[in-house]
A and B are shown apart, each in its own frame.
Chain A
């Protein structure tokens, strides 16, 4: 016999008060069982013990302006050091009156990075924009034309140098990486062996050795009489190093292209270079954009190593600023400031890459 339960929908009831709303969230997330409750209490205790002293040190007891470190000594942070040395930290040895130029260069870089996040621009126009931006940065930093005084690249330091090393590094590493990746997958054994050897060699050694190699050995490689600028040596090292890692990322993308794509291209009569350029690479590169961004973040962090071969990037200028005898003992504050700058760049880029990855996965429901 058919049992027809209610014809009319039951009145929708609200959930029991202890299971939803803010109280319910607290219960589920912080106090769901004995173990969790203990964890919450321990974590809260840890925060209570560490956070207030840090805030006191960093904010309330901090000294914001002082002539030297002795006047700055107290229970709190000595932000006066940053205040005093800010322009040196950011722009290093660039001539003082002309420092609007590296400032503008940094702004251009940041604008380009932000613009690259807008997907509508991806493609020819973005590449063109970057080219324009890099030329503008070059003009600003070197000068010599348009009435700007010439500033040799030995004087470039601080944040602009970090950005230049990272951006130019990636820009040149990218085409090299594509060639390496294609070479590694080539059917010609000689080409494949050489590409594999290069990639595995560079990936197997620390960046510092590649920097040393560039710094010490590049001058030896050149015919007598030719010299090579220190900045160029560091830049070459970063390019060669990044290219090896990028090559592996691109190779991952190439491997993910279904064989059917290549077969279809062959069936249409395209040559190897035509199908690579028009069919395989566009798809492969689109696939690996998140890991590409991650590699850029890694390269950005790696620029700090140039301090070891005597270039003054942002970390270098901070260290140089700390050498001032008037300001002993302020290393903690200085490094926290530097960390904040690096963190802003890297965090923003990593969040962006995570967002990209989520979007790509959404479009790839198989």
Chain B
């Protein structure tokens, strides 16, 4: 059951199509995400799920269709792109922290240079979010000195410092050693419970069951099935969904 939203959806993908050269990677994607909704996207590799969410903040360019985020349409217009990127935070599989800056500097960089905040205010916000992800003592360390789980939590905090309306997660735990996955998922669950709009590409089905409002299954560039987690896991309708779930839930 999707959460009833007040007003227009905060993300709208209408007939989204993308090609890499001749390869049709996203085929007529239609998706609506309401404010405060938590969407988990899953599917086999090569299904286009990462490409889809990377189109939302223009890390990838779409050739046909419309993307509307927080009421702004995503076109080649640089102002639109920058406005959307201010409101959308992204967490990458490879963390992508800036190694030549301290943790604190990583967090305050964008608020200072994009939102034009004074340094003190930016640092206060940064320490607040470092606290939220439970590593306040690492503020003056460099990313190279942290473990993978700590780095990813810093990456989440870095996006949160921009106070975005939407958070995108591109397989955030896939590059982590197993013992560190839980600490990152815990942070993401807390974030979800506070009402953040999230679109998450992940293989962590336990997390999906806990947090998701909507499950979306993609295969070969198209959305094959979507629904509430309960129905999705208990009674998948499509054969391709059944096949995928049997493979991923076998362990």
Contacts and interface: CB of A to CB of B under 8 A. Distances in A.
A and B touch in the complex (CB under 8 A): yes
Interface of A: 1-7, 9-10, 12-16, 19-20, 24
A122 to B, nearest CB: 36
Contacts of A20: 19, 21-22
B38 interface: no
A5 B63 contact: no
Contacts of B237: 2, 4
A6 B236 CA distance: 14
A3 B225 CA distance: 6
Contact of A2 (B28, B30, B222, B226): B226
Nearest to B232: A2
A2 B22 contact: no
B17 A5 contact: no
Interface in B186-227: 220, 222-227
A15 B22 contact: yes
A24 B21 CA distance: 9
A15 B63 contact: yes
Given A4-B238, A5-B225, A9-B220, 7 more contacts: A1-B228, A2-B225, A2-B226, A2-B231, A16-B19, A16-B63, A20-B21
B231 A1 contact: yes
B64 interface: yes
B13 to A, nearest CB: 13
A9 B225 contact: no
Contacts of B137: none
Given A2-B231, A2-B235, A7-B238, A15 B225 contact: no
A133 to B, nearest CB: 47
Contact of A13 (B17, B30, B220, B238): B17
Nearest to A11: B27
A25 to B, nearest CB: 9
Given A15-B19, A16-B64, A20-B22, A5 B227 contact: no
Given A10-B28, A16-B64, A19-B63, A3 B22 contact: no
A6 B235 contact: no
A3 B19 CA distance: 25
A3 B226 contact: yes
Contacts of B141: none
Contacts of A14: 22, 24
Contacts of A4: 224-225, 237-238
22 contacts: A1-B227, A2-B231, A2-B232, A2-B235, A2-B236, A4-B225, A4-B238, A5-B223, A5-B225, A6-B222, A10-B27, A12-B24, A12-B27, A13-B24, A15-B22, A16-B19, A16-B63, A19-B63, A20-B19, A20-B21, A20-B22, A24-B21
Nearest to A18: B63
Among all A-B residue pairs, the 3 with the closest Cβ atoms? A2-B227, A15-B19, A4-B237
Contacts of B223: 5
A5 B226 contact: yes
Nearest to B238: A4
Nearest to B231: A2
A27 to B, nearest CB: 12
B185 to A, nearest CB: 25
Interface in B23-64: 24, 27-28, 30, 63-64
Nearest to B18: A15
Nearest to B219: A9
Interface string B231-243: 1100111100000
B226 A19 contact: no
Contacts of A13: 17, 24, 27
Nearest to A4: B237
B81 to A, nearest CB: 14
A33 to B, nearest CB: 9
Nearest to A13: B24
A135 to B, nearest CB: 54
A239 to B, nearest CB: 43
Contacts of B238: 4, 7
B231 A10 contact: no
B32 to A, nearest CB: 11
Contacts of B64: 16
